[in-house]
Amino acid sequence: GESVGLHLPTLSVQEGDNSIINCAYSNSASDYFIWYKQESGKGPQFIIDIRSNMDKRQGQRVTVLLNKTVKHLSLQIAATQPGDSAVYFCAERAGSARQLTFGSGTQLTVLP
């Protein structure tokens, strides 16, 4: 993920609209990716994951798209709800590595 220091990228959407949160990764050897949601004062919560042999995976109201050519990952949230307001992180892991590397996150705000 891209480092943006203290200033998180922000996304504001109207309740009921779809949200798209983007993440760029740098390691071409990364073969596993996860999206986490972190609400204020809480730890990150797993949302959805995808392996590099796939380009799309769907969950309940969420879809993750992976474009390995440009090393880009996106999270789509359908019919965004107020409870979706949080910071969203992408994380990657290279096949040979044991650890996850987290991006800097995007602050999603859902407007009533």
Partner 1 sequence: EAGVAQSPRYKIIEKRQSVAFWCNPISGHATLYWYQQILGQGPKLLIQFQNNGVVDDSQLPKDRFSAERLKGVDSTLKIQPAKLEDSAVYLCASSLLRNQETQYFGPGTRLLVL
Binding site for partner 1 (CB under 8 A): 1, 3-8, 32, 34, 41-46, 49, 89, 91, 93, 98-100, 102-105
- Please, which residue, 48 or 78, has the CB nearer to partner 1? 48
Least distance from partner 1 to the Cβ atom of residue 15, Å: 26
Least distance from partner 1 to the Cβ atom of residue 38, Å: 8
- Please, which residue, 4 or 54, has the CB nearer to partner 1? 4
Q: 53 — alpha (psi -120 to 50), left (phi > 0) or beta? A: alpha
* Cα-based angle 61, 95, 1 (whole degrees, multiple of 5): 55
- Please, which residue, 35 or 80, has the CB nearer to partner 1? 35
Q: Is 47 exposed, middle or buried (0-12, 13-18, 19+ CB in 10 A)?
A: buried
Least distance from partner 1 to the Cβ atom of residue 83, Å: 18
The CA distance from 72 to 87, in Å, is 18
